[in-house]
Amino acid sequence: MFVPNLIGYARVVLALICFFLLPCCPWPAIFCYLLNVLLDEFDGHAARALNQSTKFGAMMDMLTDRCATMCLLVNLSLLYPAYTFLFQLSMCLDISSHWLHLHSSTIKGSVSHKSIDLSGNPILRDIPTFILLLLFPACSVCDVRGNELFFCLLYLLHHIEEPAGWLYALLLVCALIALAKAAISVVHLVTASQNMAALDTAERQSAKKQ
């Protein structure tokens, strides 16, 4: 039994408890959610430190993230039903872009879905973007957490009687980050589709030669 996988199972249980409590008891639910985020940061480090990285662990980690985001968007649809379609688009984009990207890189043989092939994409060949991507680890964290924080703030602001002004300012900043992340997800989705189409074409051509 690997420690990171045990943390992974704990995260799944925490997530289930969180979403069970979300409609009725905001603060215990938020506590579970924050604990979940903490464990998420921790299990990656634990896996590398203890040399217990596994494909299964990485997969479980990502599935937990995808499902937690999905479930949070369901609850947000209940709180803001007028925006349901936007939340549906967001969860479809999130699932599709990650899935297609992981699948195309698995077929191509990459080690982790977080290591990307920079050579193929013209947007990514831009110098300013390239510099940005050198800072990718930091930006990636801000991007992912900023996106998550946006959804959490939407939930919180619905439950706080008289929210402070700075919370709305934070919401605006996070909204911009969430928008940027959505745009990047679309790029990932298109790139991964092109990669898969290229793999398909190569496969059909080699089949013809036989």
Residues within the interface to a copy of itself (CB under 8 A): 16, 19-20, 23, 54-56, 59-60, 63, 66-67, 70-71, 73-75, 77-78, 81, 84, 87-88, 91-92, 95-96, 99-100, 102-103, 106-107, 193, 196-197, 199-200, 203
Active-site annotation holder among 40, 43, 61, 65 = 65
User: 10 Å Cβ neighbour count for 140?
Assistant: 14
Residue 55 CB, nearest distance to a copy of itself (Å)? 5
Q: CA-CA distance, 95 to 185, in Å (whole number)? A: 10
- 143 in active site: no
Please say which residue, 39 or 91, places its beta carbon nearer to a copy of itself: 91
Measured CA to CA in angstroms, residue 165 lies from 59, 146, 157, 173, 174 at distances of 39, 18, 11, 13, 15
Chain centroid to Cα 180, Å, comes to: 13
- Which residues are within 8 A (CB) of 124 and not within 5 positions of it... i.e. 6 or more apart? 116, 118, 130, 133
Phi, psi dihedral angles at 33 (to 5 degrees): -65, -45
Residue 89 CB, nearest distance to a copy of itself (Å)? 9
Residue 116 CB, nearest distance to a copy of itself (Å)? 18
Catalytic site residues? Answer: 65
